[in-house]
Structure 1
Amino acid sequence: MIDKSVRKNKRQRFQRTLASLMLFNILCFSAAPAVSLAAPNMLATADTTKATEDKAATDKATTNNAKPDKVPSVDQLSLEVSSAVLIEPSTGQVLLSINADEALPPASMTKMMTEYIVAEKVKQGELAWDDVVTVGENAEKTVGSRIFLAEGDQHTVEELYIAMAVGSANDATVALAEHIAGSEAEFVTLMNDTAKKMGLKTAFFINSTGLSRADMPEKYRPAEDKETVMSAMDTALLAKYIVEDHPDFARFTAIQSHKFRPRDTSPIINYNWMLEANKSITNFKAYAYEGLDGLKTGHTNAAGYCFAGTAERDGMRLISVVMGTKSEGARFKETKKVLDYGFDNFEVKEVQAAGATVQGFETVEVKKGKGKEAGLVTDKALTFVVPKGSSGKNITFEAKLDSSSVTAPVAKDTKVGTATYSYKIEGMKETQTETVNLITAGEVEKAGWFKLFLRAIGDFFADLFDSIKNLF
């Protein structure tokens, strides 16, 4: 047994010696090319390590040290309103805000939600413009602005929609609500659910029209003693949904007048005096505003005179809301101040194209790839609202990678991090922010085993040389 043990130990020593000789031959064979590859890679490794360390921490940078962009203060407008707001819908940027988050009675601006839901139903194929609506008791008994519908009357969805959008007809609005949901109460549930989906923080509806509870037909009043409320900000966001989800909105809201029935002695006149087309109408030309094509007026004793307006000039659309003004004409005069402030001082500018590199985050390390790095670019363009004539100075960013490295194979357009840009304009309350993804500019295939083996040898010698260097 001792002889067998000795023979086994000798055999193991022989195998280890043979393996050592083979490894020595491999290393000697690979030494020359390995050294030639290792030398440049030493610097690359050091740089990559530093870049990785930089990217692991959040980086902050500024484009230049110029003075911040500036716009006039909104205080100089001397607005006579309970609240007001101005937004640029494509970016969602708030350009002016006065008491904009307070929940107030919106009066007939409420109908914007009814309009949105009807248009959505048509868009989704659940409703057609030529569907026939039969008027019920609730619509007939509804007061305020109306077209004097009688129970049993029949009109198309489009006819009633025009009466609602142009003449703010409460009876037409109720008829549409009941046609869609079976009752106005059920439609109100749909309105409040839609408001939540839109992210409207203050909006609460008790009816489809904006009438005060006491002005509703008694039989159809909600049991809960509450009123419809909506802030100027939420009204503007609702308008944003209308203009973006239904870009053909103006085919209704820009109608100046409409004869509802052939027998009617006079047409419905649009309550929106600011329509650009009114510049040739004697009574309204003082209010007509270039590019204005919507959206909705409102008035009750509780709400005062309100208006959600939208206009487009030189490719930029703005949405304004004023609430609680003192008269019918005042709501348009105050709206003009708000819109003028926007068009006179701002423009939308693409300050960085999609596919741009971010300083300090040009690459990410790739493990086990044919290449050791993948280039990084932004996945979309960077757009801000800037002061007119400005290039958008003093934009800062914070960028980070999800991980310090990725493992091959890596597909093109793989998200590996984010960059958040911030832009502050003096004279504006809010700082504009926009986040873009950092994605790989191309694919990186996985390297074969032999390439990985040679790379490991190169890395071994690089580490060895570093160790030797550090001894001196």
Structure 2
Amino acid sequence: MKKGLTWYQIMTRILTVSLIAVMILTSLPVQSHAQTAAPLELEANSAILMDASTGQVIYEMNADVALPPASMAKMMTEYIVMEKIKSGELKWDDMVTASRYAGSVIGSGGLLAEGDTHTVKDLFHSVTIYSGNDASVALAEKIAGTEENFAHMMNEKAREMGLSDEAHFINATGLNRADIGEFAPQGIEGETMLSARDSALLAYHILKDHKDVLEFTKIPRKKFRETDTSEMVNWNWMLEGFKDSVSLKSYAYEGLDGLKTGHTREAGYCFTGTAERNGVRLISVVMGTAGERERFVETRKLLDYGFNNFDKLTVYAEGDGLDELQSVKMSKGVKTTVPVEAGSELSLLIRKGADSEEIVKEAIPLPESELVAPIAKGDKVGTLKVSYDGQEFSIDIVAAEDNNKAGWMRLFFRGIKDFFINLGTGIKNLF
């Protein structure tokens, strides 16, 4: 006859069964509403990922360290050219003659000789597709007389855009001072420097103000002259347009249509990219990768991180009423208050599974001295500030309807009414 189990044996069996149960449970897949992205392990000196519609930053690494940007500096050259086109000061069919400097500058391009004449549009194709140093110099000299004068324009524009104090341009190409030798600027010191954040902000502004630049940057290949036997092949291997290329299709990225590569010995390999998927456009920057291929590999990591882990949330649509402020008081109007609404759309990228209550909103009306009739529907009457993830965004609060100026008689009787209301309130407060 077996003896009963001892206390020790009973406890040992309970612990064994419990351990087996835990092992079984932990081997089952766990369902989670929140998707936590794996940490990015980028092999680059610096990087940043930005929402092209708002400038919201969703990833950064050493983003404020000023580094040589190489040919990414040409984004500023492109911006100024397109600004001159937009203003009418420059036309796409204007002719440009290459100077000795433009015909002899080293590096990418090499399609111009001194005295060659081409249209602004032809040269712009060379800059945006082939990163042409020669075309960049020719356009700079066409616009400003000298490249040094053009570099001053670049630096002024950098200040207007709100780039960092370290953002600095010495030429239209991004080449180092030693590379341009006798043509180096005498009145501008230092070297061209940009941080990853500066490069992203520059891309943000060119996409915001001159989005048609993408009609140039998305071209995979193009002949510079119709008589040429070979084509300019875009240095941006990630273009979606390369998806059918035998040699480059492994780099092609869905939705990618710009923006600018760069490489010098000092800068390493750099790339400012932009891609759009499902109504979300992102701007990515990597600086200082070890090789040409690596800048695209690291960019893919960045863009995948953004598209896979964030959703677009429309915080306000244009014309939406505001819970934070339904109306504003106005003086001298037919109506004493005017309903308000959001003046434009504001959308943010929210991590999947995150709580939208993390978004903090504050409605700030204009000072009373500025809220005076007449006012038209759509006129600004305040600012709506929205904070999320340590960043602040704002849109205008606007009048939802007209409010005409009241006649003198209406204002007179309103004044009498207000006087007696205030008098009665004052008397009541005495008791």
Q: Mind listing any 5+ residue stretches in structure 2 that lack a counterpart?
A: 1-32
SS of the equivalent of 2:357 reads: coil
Paired with 2:139 and 2:400, the residues of 1 have a C-alpha distance of 51
109, 124, 130: which one aligns with 1:167: 130
Paired with 1:458 and 1:148, the residues of 2 have a C-alpha distance of 81
Change (3 A) 1:265 1:399: closer
Cα deviation digits, residues 248-307 of structure 1 (max 9, x gap):
212211111122234433211111100001111111111100000111111011000000
SS of the equivalent of 1:420 reads: strand
Equivalent AA in structure 1 for residue 237 of structure 2: W
Equivalent AA in structure 2 for residue 169 of structure 1: G
Partner residue in 2 for 1:319: 283
Query: Where do residues 72-471 of structure 1 align in structure 2 (5 Å cutoff)?
Result: 72=36, 76-201=39-164, 202-216=166-180, 218-223=181-186, 226-359=190-323, 361-364=325-328, 374-388=338-352, 392-402=356-366, 411=375, 417-424=382-389, 430-437=390-397, 439=399, 443=403, 445=406, 447=410, 449=412, 453=416, 466=428, 470=431
TM-score normalised per structure 1: 0.74
SS of the equivalent of 1:307 reads: strand
Q: CA deviation at 1:198?
A: 1.6
Q: CA deviation at 1:449?
A: 4.4
Change (3 A) 1:306 1:448: closer
Cα deviation digits, residues 281-336 of structure 1 (max 9, x gap):
11111110000011111101100000011111111111111000011110000000
Contact persistence 1:375–1:442 (CA under 8 A)? no
Cα deviation digits, residues 176-225 of structure 1 (max 9, x gap):
21222222222212222222222221321111111111111x22122366
Paired with 1:360 and 1:265, the residues of 2 have a C-alpha distance of 64
Contact persistence 2:361–2:386 (CA under 8 A)? yes
Contact persistence 2:97–2:118 (CA under 8 A)? yes
Contact persistence 1:130–1:156 (CA under 8 A)? yes
SS of the equivalent of 1:116 reads: helix
SS of the equivalent of 2:276 reads: strand
Q: CA deviation at 1:412?
A: 5.3
Change (3 A) 1:355 1:463: farther
Change (3 A) 1:440 1:124: closer
* RMSD between aligned residues: 3.1
Equivalent AA in structure 2 for residue 297 of structure 1: T
SS of the equivalent of 2:212 reads: coil
Answer 1 or 2: higher relative contact order, Cα 8 Å, separation at least 6.
1
SS of the equivalent of 1:280 reads: coil
Give percent identity, aligned residues only: 46
Paired with 1:416 and 1:156, the residues of 2 have a C-alpha distance of 47
Cα deviation digits, residues 55-102 of structure 1 (max 9, x gap):
xxxxxxxxxxxxxx97746x7110111011111121111111111111
Equivalent AA in structure 1 for residue 297 of structure 2: K
Contact persistence 1:108–1:297 (CA under 8 A)? yes
Contact persistence 1:279–1:286 (CA under 8 A)? yes
Paired with 1:339 and 1:387, the residues of 2 have a C-alpha distance of 14
Q: CA deviation at 1:383?
A: 2.8
Equivalent AA in structure 1 for residue 316 of structure 2: Q
Paired with 2:174 and 2:324, the residues of 1 have a C-alpha distance of 54
Q: Mind listing any 5+ residue stretches in structure 1 that lack a counterpart?
A: 1-68, 425-429
* Higher mean C-alpha displacement, 229-238 vs 169-178: 169-178
SS of the equivalent of 1:261 reads: coil
Paired with 2:330 and 2:111, the residues of 1 have a C-alpha distance of 72
Equivalent AA in structure 2 for residue 421 of structure 1: V
Paired with 1:274 and 1:300, the residues of 2 have a C-alpha distance of 20
Q: CA deviation at 1:110?
A: 1.2
Q: CA deviation at 1:458?
A: 6.5
Equivalent AA in structure 2 for residue 423 of structure 1: Y
Equivalent AA in structure 2 for residue 314 of structure 1: N
Q: CA deviation at 1:147?
A: 2.7
Equivalent AA in structure 2 for residue 84 of structure 1: A
Cα deviation digits, residues 20-76 of structure 1 (max 9, x gap):
xxxxxxxxxxxxxxxxxxxxxxxxxxxxxxxxxxxxxxxxxxxxxxxxx97746x71
Equivalent AA in structure 1 for residue 236 of structure 2: N
SS of the equivalent of 1:255 reads: coil
* Higher mean C-alpha displacement, 309-318 vs 262-271: 262-271
Partner residue in 1 for 2:23: none
Change (3 A) 1:355 1:253: closer
How many pairs were matched up? Answer: 393
